[in-house]
A and B are shown apart, each in its own frame.
Chain A
Amino acid sequence: METRWRKNSVNLLILSGILLVVFPLAFDDFRLNMVGKYLTFAFVAVGLVLCWGRTGILSLGQGIFFGLGGYFMAMFLKLESSGVELPDFMGWNSVDVMPWFWVPFHSLAFTIFMIIVFPAGCAFLLGWAMFRNRVGGVYFAIVTLSLASILSILIIGQQGYTGGINGITNFSTLEGWNLSSPHARLILYYINAVLLILIVYGSEFVNSSRLGRLLIAIRDKEDRVMFSGYNVPIFKAFTFAVASGLAAIGGAMFTLQVGLISPSFVSITASIEMVIFATVGGRYSVLGAVYGTLLVSFSKSFLSESFPELWTYFIAALFIFVVMLFPSGLAGVFEKFRWPGFLSGHGAMKKKAEEVS
């Protein structure tokens, strides 16, 4: 127990070192901003490790929550940059009065509150309603997938209120602070990295608690947990809500660093890409998910620059390859060959290894 925690601390320190020291030194402004963008996807991947890898709830609609966070942030920024005027895209679509649900986003405090509470709250209610009625597994995946599709279609359809397919863009200041200056970008990168590290620490804390063990128990034998007196639907809904809350924070950080949000980050494609990040990195390992996100994203931008039309085939092949040969992803490979304990002791690879021996 003790050594496991110590080994984890070492791994966490290495991650912190890479994010806070190595990357800022190694990359120029442009590349660092790109890494910052990738790291916002890591929020989603970490959430997926908690709810999919740990608890066994596969959501194919995390783009919904990433998008909600991103759109809330963008609404605030857009209102600020528009001043007393209506946001420009509303005028283009002959919306003359500020829609009621835009009004409260004049306040930064309200915006942050909404980013943290609303997506997680929605996820909790959705999860609770479904898990209570024993809807789970592949049915849950299908429902979340359809919801992602519905939301992106809704956003595209309601151009006057959402900016449509182009999303919300053309904003540059946060409470008067110029977001596009190199200095601001560096600060945003650090805020993002520190938030992510805190979340990784938090996830490791959950994993080492009784709650973490219960989540694995729910994945392994849900009925036994229920008949040990636990209200399982609440536990599952809670995990799903936490994962979705993390996705929303990632979305908000995305908008801040990239300067736009559009329906393509809500869509099915984006949602499934996020699942691929977690799978490649290792769905049982929080750290693996972060590295997986970085690796896939880097290769995505490298390959899509060189072979734009081949990228989708490549990522599909990678996904199939990983799922078939390394079900625990990179972390599983690492664990097996280099450093046992990387998965904090609960990987499927480990179980396999024990079964063999």
Chain B
Amino acid sequence: MNATGAEKIVYEPDESSLKQEVARLTLELEKARAELARTKDELKKFKQDPEHTFRDSLLLEVDKLTVSFNGFKALDNLSVYVNKDELHAIIGPNGAGKSTLLDAICGRTRPESGSILFKDRDLTKLKEHQIVRIGVGRKFQTPSIYEELTVFENLETSYPEKRDVLGSLFWKRKEDIIEKIRNIATLIFLEDKLNQKAGTLSHGQKQWLEIGMLLLQEHELLLLDEPVAGMSQSEREKTAQLLKDICRNRSVIVIEHDMNFVENIADRVTVLHQGKWLSEGSMEHVKNDPNVIEVYVGH
């Protein structure tokens, strides 16, 4: 698409970009339908109990969380909350405990004390796969994909259906699922690589594939660990667009070092320093906080 002048738009028909657009719109439509259903639901709840809506706007509540490794406190009495549909960025210098926080939320690390409430359930008491099933997805820092499987098979194994042993043994591919997978593949720029082994993809393509795998699972809360690290400039731009698509209609916690990136996408920013809460607010607010300046710039 190319805009020349104020009202005249020259449209260059290009098959692959059209396909891209269709895939995006299809996903959009699906999301809109889900959103409509959810809104109707909420409206009903609101009519019954107006208090409910207020309580509902909070999705994740990390309360007085302490995580220690052999006495070293990686997180120290940390409290953070995430609202519904909010994109929350966590920043801080190396060793601030950012990744530890994500690990604790998704069940990889067990905290010493404190609680993590997600939709009224304490995540510290659930196993990793149970946390995923109630709606928390995790994207790792290095691309985590299955190198020996094809792109299609990578996406297919991520499809949230029949996640037990016997169910998966007798699972059959259905047309609508294949269609969904193709659609996602188009969205992540991998539609013509469906039958290629994932191990042969480039670094950026692997990142997209993992994002695609998460997209299929439709989580309510996504944890993203440095999603644009190690990417070329053009890959970075495409990824930023993808992330914006992912992040709509769900809550996201993102760790990122690229401050421009954070400033562009984040609704709210929390700054950590040595496992402790340092500052919170808009990027503008955080940038001007003297505590933050001291930590980042030093004396």
Query: A residues near B, CB below 8 A?
Result: 206, 209-211, 213-214, 216-217, 219-221, 223-232, 234-235, 238, 346, 348, 350-351, 354-355
Contact A209 B148 (CB under 8 A): no
Smallest CB separation, B30 vs chain A (Å): 20
Chain B residues whose CB sits within 8 angstroms of the CB of A206 once the complex forms: 169
Given A220-B148, A226-B128, A232-B129, CB of A211 within 8 Å of CB of B169: yes
Chain B residues whose CB sits within 8 angstroms of the CB of A238 once the complex forms: 165
Closest to B136 in A: A227
A-B contact pairs, 6 of them (CB 8 A): A210-B169, A216-B146, A224-B213, A229-B132, A229-B163, A238-B165
Given A209-B168, A210-B171, A229-B132, CB of A351 within 8 Å of CB of B157: no
Given A210-B162, A234-B165, A354-B197, CB of A217 within 8 Å of CB of B157: yes
Closest to A242 in B: B165
Chain B 132-164 against A: per-residue CB contact (8 Å), 1 yes, 0 no? 110001101000111111000110111010111
A350 to B213, CA, bound (A): 24
Interface size class of B (residues with CB under 8 A): 35 or more
Query: B residues near A, CB below 8 A?
Result: 106, 108, 127-129, 132-133, 137-138, 140, 144-149, 153-154, 156-158, 160, 162-165, 168-171, 197, 199-200, 210, 213, 217
Contact B129 A351 (CB under 8 A): no
Closest to A222 in B: B144
A354 to B147, CA, bound (A): 12
Given A217-B146, A221-B146, A229-B217, CB of A211 within 8 Å of CB of B133: no
Given A220-B148, A223-B144, A355-B200, CB of A213 within 8 Å of CB of B153: yes
Contact A231 B129 (CB under 8 A): yes
Q: Which of B138, B147, B157 has the most CB of A within 10 A?
A: B157
Given A209-B168, A209-B169, A232-B129, CB of A227 within 8 Å of CB of B146: no
A37 to B129, CA, bound (A): 43
Q: Which of A206, A209, A216, A228 has the most CB of B within 10 A?
A: A228
Q: Which of A213, A348, A355 has the most CB of B within 10 A?
A: A213
Closest to A235 in B: B165
Q: Which of B133, B153, B199 contacts A229 (CB under 8 A)?
A: B133
A234 to B129, CA, bound (A): 11
A214 to B210, CA, bound (A): 16
A228 to B162, CA, bound (A): 12
Contact A227 B132 (CB under 8 A): yes
A164 to B256, CA, bound (A): 64
Closest to A215 in B: B168
Given A211-B169, A213-B149, A229-B160, CB of A224 within 8 Å of CB of B129: no
Contact A221 B197 (CB under 8 A): no
* Nearest 5 CB-CB pairings of A with B: A229-B132, A224-B144, A210-B171, A211-B168, A220-B146
Chain A residues whose CB sits within 8 angstroms of the CB of B213 once the complex forms: 224, 228
Closest to A225 in B: B157
Q: Which of B145, B160, B200 contacts A224 (CB under 8 A)?
A: B145
Given A226-B128, A227-B138, CB of A209 within 8 Å of CB of B149: no
Q: Which of A210, A227, A228 has the most CB of B within 10 A?
A: A227
Contact B197 A217 (CB under 8 A): no
Smallest CB separation, A112 vs chain B (Å): 23
Contact A351 B171 (CB under 8 A): no
Chain A residues whose CB sits within 8 angstroms of the CB of B133 once the complex forms: 229
Contact B140 A223 (CB under 8 A): yes
Chain B residues whose CB sits within 8 angstroms of the CB of A220 once the complex forms: 145-149
A350 to B149, CA, bound (A): 12
A209 to B147, CA, bound (A): 18
Chain B residues whose CB sits within 8 angstroms of the CB of A209 once the complex forms: 168-171
Closest to B196 in A: A354
A348 to B148, CA, bound (A): 8
Chain A residues whose CB sits within 8 angstroms of the CB of B140 once the complex forms: 223-224, 227
A229 to B156, CA, bound (A): 13
Contact B149 A216 (CB under 8 A): yes
Contact A228 B132 (CB under 8 A): yes
